[in-house]
Amino acid sequence: MPELEFVGLSASASPTPAPAQPASGTVICGITHLARCIEDLGQDDKGIFTSPARLRRRDLRWILPVGAAFGLAMAYDAQAQQTLGLHPNLQSNMNTFSDFGSFYASGAEGAGFYFVGLAAKNPKLAETGRLGAEAVIDSGTVTLLIKLASNRHRPLQGNGQGHFWAEGASHWQWDTSFPSDHATASMSLARVIAGEYPRWYVQTAAYGFAEGISLGRVLAKQHFPSDVILGQTIGFLTGTYVLHHRALYAGYGHKNLVARVVDQVQPEFNPATKAMGLRIGFGQ
């Protein structure tokens, strides 16, 4: 069976090692090198959009569970929103809260980390903010294109079923439901923060905030569950890509519990019986 390679945009929890310091004469994206920032974003887009051609068989260990969760969510999207019912006060509060994870807010939060890092002469913090903002922009590009292609109704639009192209090509808009840009942006920023500071309390806070934003979008009746699952997946993968290719100070070599567990799970396929399963190893 030929192997599919997905180098550069992987769900692996720990990036591959990189030098701790930039090479002499290296120009790094920043407030004084904006042209390099634009160049980096262009390179990111090229790598991200061509990454499906580099899939590997081992990527099935995250593709299969994510795909299953996404498919299940799609099947019960409308039912889930109907079960939640209408609660105007809750929806208003959740909408306000989730705005802290919007594309613009997440980008501004990343920029805030960057400028605080510069002021404190902390290159690691500055890098965290810079790469966080870069990941937000990269993931926003992917999300926007999918939104344009899907043109999905939001939960409170139409008959509440979340149909794609419900009115045909005659009704088309930019800001559609699928996927959630709030989930994408907040998760991409969280992924960079968690990768730069791989400590349980930092990761819990970063990912907890991103999950809260996604839950808020569903409770606010702005998105279906599948919208936020896809958004979080895009954000996580994009943040991982940026860490792989741009990070100089990230906490490389440190694997958290989740990463160690995932590394022990390998998909297997038996050609004789045509059965697919998982092999789980213990002891490392």
Please tell me the predicted confidence (pLDDT) of residue 27: 84
**Stronger pLDDT, 211 or 86, i.e. the higher one:** 211
Q: Are 209 and 253 in contact (CB under 8 A)?
A: no
**In terms of Cα–Cα distance, which of 199, 41, 42 is closest to 133?**
41
Question: What are the tens digits of pLDDT across the range 261-276?
Answer: 444 445 555 556 655 5
Residue 104 in this model has a pLDDT that exceeds 90: yes
Residue 108 in this model has a pLDDT that exceeds 90: yes
Q: Lowest mean pLDDT: which of 38-47, 134-143, 244-253?
A: 244-253
Let me know if 65 is exposed, middle or buried by CB neighbors in 10 A (0-12, 13-18, 19+): middle
Please tell me the predicted confidence (pLDDT) of residue 5: 36
Classify residue 30 by its DSSP letter.
B
CA distance 114 to 257: 29
Please tell me the predicted confidence (pLDDT) of residue 117: 97
Please tell me the predicted confidence (pLDDT) of residue 170: 74
CA distance 161 to 155: 7
**In terms of Cα–Cα distance, which of 140, 137, 136, 167 is closest to 151?**
167
Classify residue 27 by its DSSP letter.
-
Residue 19 in this model has a pLDDT that exceeds 90: no
CA distance 154 to 42: 31
Question: What are the tens digits of pLDDT across the range 152-187?
Answer: 999 999 899 999 998 877 777 788 999 999 999 999
Region 67-74: mean pLDDT is: 94
Strands 275-280 and 265-270: antiparallel
CA distance 72 to 70: 5
Residue 284 in this model has a pLDDT that exceeds 60: no
Residue owning tokens 């769900």: 11
CA 244 to chain centre: 14
The mean predicted confidence, pLDDT, of the chain is 84
Residue 22 in this model has a pLDDT that exceeds 80: no
Helix (H, G, I), strand (E, B) or coil at 267: strand
**Stronger pLDDT, 281 or 54, i.e. the higher one:** 54
pLDDT band at 15 (very low <50, low <70, confident <90, very high): very low
**CA distances, 104 to each of 60, 130, 224 (Å):** 33, 14, 21
**In terms of Cα–Cα distance, which of 179, 197, 196 is closest to 235?**
179
pLDDT band at 1 (very low <50, low <70, confident <90, very high): very low
Region 101-115: mean pLDDT is: 97
* Rg of the chain, C-alpha, whole Å: 20
Question: What are the tens digits of pLDDT across the range 190-241?
Answer: 999 999 999 999 999 999 999 999 999 999 999 999 999 999 999 999 999 9
Please tell me the predicted confidence (pLDDT) of residue 25: 60
Please tell me the predicted confidence (pLDDT) of residue 243: 95
Residues 6+ apart with CB under 8 A from 144: 174, 181
Residue 12 in this model has a pLDDT that exceeds 60: no
Region 78-96: mean pLDDT is: 94
The tokens for 254 are 């440190």
Residues 6+ apart with CB under 8 A from 92: 220
